[in-house]
C-alpha cells in the first residue's frame, strides 16, 4: 500500500440548522474569524516550515445535498499530494468514487464513499492560491 496517501485534514464540514447564526456564535464566543464558508486554520508543514497549509471548518445548511449520496450530517476533507494517482489506486481496490475530479484555481477535488456510507472529500490543494482567496478568514 502507498504511504502518505492522505497528508492531513483539509476540513471538517457539517450540517446545521442555521450556518449564519452558528458562524456568528463561534466568532463571538470562540474567536473564529469567519466568512460565508466558515474559517480556515493556518499551519506550517513539518518538513518545510516556510510552507503554509490550511484546514477549513465549515457549517452547511441542514438541507444541503453536497454530502449526497451520504445521509450523514458531516463530511471530512482530506488533503492529498497526488489525487489522480490516489484515485487510480482506490479504483483498483474497489473503492466507490462519486462523480468526477473537479479542478479549481486552488486545487483538485474528488469524492469517495467509506464502508459506512460517509462521503469523503479528497483535495489536492494549491495552498499559495488558496491563501490569496481566503484573505482574512483565518484563525491562527
pLDDT bin (cut points 50, 70, 90) of residue 124 is: very high
In a domain, 139, yes or no: no
Residue 96 maps to which CATH number? Answer: 3.10.180.10
How many residues are listed for the chain in this entry?
Answer: 140
Work out the pLDDT band at 86, boundaries 50, 70, 90.
Answer: very high
Q: How many domains does the chain have?
A: 1
Residues near 67 by Cβ (< 8 Å), separated by ≥ 6?
13, 15, 60, 73, 74, 75, 119
In a domain, 1, yes or no: no
Structural domain of 128? 8-134
- 140 within a domain of the structure (yes/no): no
Least confident of 38-42, 77-81, 89-93, 133-137: 133-137
Mean pLDDT across the chain: 92
Whose CA is closest to 121, among 53, 70, 62? 70
Amino acid at each position: 500500500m502507498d504511504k502518505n496517501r492522505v497528508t492531513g485534514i483539509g476540513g471538517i464540514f457539517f450540517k446545521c440548522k442555521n450556518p449564519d447564526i452558528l458562524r456568528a456564535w463561534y466568532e463571538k464566543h470562540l474567536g473564529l474569524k469567519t466568512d460565508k464558508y466558515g474559517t480556515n486554520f493556518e499551519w506550517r508543514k513539518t518538513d518545510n516550515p516556510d510552507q503554509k497549509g490550511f484546514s477549513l471548518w465549515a457549517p452547511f445548511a441542514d438541507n444541503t445535498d453536497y454530502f449526497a449520496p451520504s445521509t450523514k450530517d458531516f463530511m471530512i476533507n482530506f488533503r492529498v499530494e497526488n489525487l489522480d494517482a490516489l484515485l487510480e489506486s482506490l479504483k483498483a481496490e474497489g473503492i466507490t468514487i462519486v462523480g468526477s475530479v473537479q479542478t479549481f484555481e486552488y486545487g483538485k477535488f474528488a469524492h469517495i464513499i467509506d464502508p459506512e456510507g460517509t462521503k469523503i472529500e479528497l483535495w489536492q490543494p494549491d495552498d499559495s492560491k488558496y491563501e490569496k482567496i481566503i484573505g482574512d478568514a483565518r484563525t491562527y
